[in-house]
Amino acid sequence: MIKQPKRLVLIGRSLGHSLSPTFQNAALQHAKLPLRYEALDIPASALDDAFQELSLEDGAGNVTVPHKQAVFARCDRLIPVAQRAGAVNTFWFERGELIGDNTDVAGFQAAVRQLLQREPSGLTVGLIGAGGAAAAVLAAVESWKGCKALVQNRTAERAIALCARFSSFAQPSDVDELAREADLVVNATTVGLRDSAFPVDPSRLRPSAIVLDLVYRRGETPWVKAVRARGLRAMDGLVMLIEQGAAAFERWFGFPPDRDAMWRAVH
């Protein structure tokens, strides 16, 4: 049982869009825990000072873009799923040691199960992106039976490097191949977060393709809406966000949060 944190934070950049404080504070209030979850906009140059301060305060929290891999490198100990993903999105301290976990993997698994209405198996996964979120996706897909992944990234070298870590089932791809072959298309980039751009044109996707956009916006992303308009099944990143947050809450406190309270807070 980890020591109950005395401060809870979200560390990242440009956090004005984040719903994490909204639903985490609802969960804390429902559990009658006397804490507030706060967003900290911190540049990379200030990460060391921030974690030193959090260590002294018995802090814990989440990490988002663009710091997941930088915090991974700073951890004294990593939970195996974070080690595999090469990225940390959840952290706490134990006896002064910084512990890193990755609950994005569990969040992604939950979102896919809800989208497919079954356990994922036998799928070709088209993955757009090669950062920390993409690595969490591949760490999940690795556990699925009979699946392979096609990875496309704007910088091809990053896709090649990521696939090398998951070479038994993942290979670099381009947009044409991905759109032509993928059963499940996952956007693990920030495309569509603050604009109306599409990671891939919906008209290029297979008629049977299913889409999961890890980006979330109030009222859903333009890409999800456009994909649905073509008659394809699609979901934005809100289920994954809530589920990774619920898993993080359970790591910090040793019991699950009230998910209904979390969902009510964001609707």
Residues annotated catalytic, as ranges? 68
The three-class DSSP label of residue 258 is coil
Count the Cβ atoms, other than its own, within 10 Å of residue 79: 18
The answer to whether the CB of 189 falls within 8 A of the CB of 65 is no
Surface-to-core class of residue 107, CB atoms within 10 Å of its CB (0-12 exposed, 13-18 middle, 19+ buried): buried
The answer to whether the CB of 219 falls within 8 A of the CB of 209 is no
- Cis peptide bond N-terminal to 66, omega within 30: yes
Say which DSSP state 201 is in: -
Distance CA 134, CA 220 (A): 20
Q: How far is CA 10 from CA 1, 50, 145, 177, 201, in A?
A: 22, 11, 34, 37, 33
Distance CA 58, CA 49 (A): 14
The three-class DSSP label of residue 94 is strand
The answer to whether the CB of 100 falls within 8 A of the CB of 90 is yes
Task: State the Cα torsion 173-176-182-187 to the nearest 10°.
Answer: 70
Strand (E) or helix (H) holding 8: strand 7-12
Count the Cβ atoms, other than its own, within 10 Å of residue 56: 11
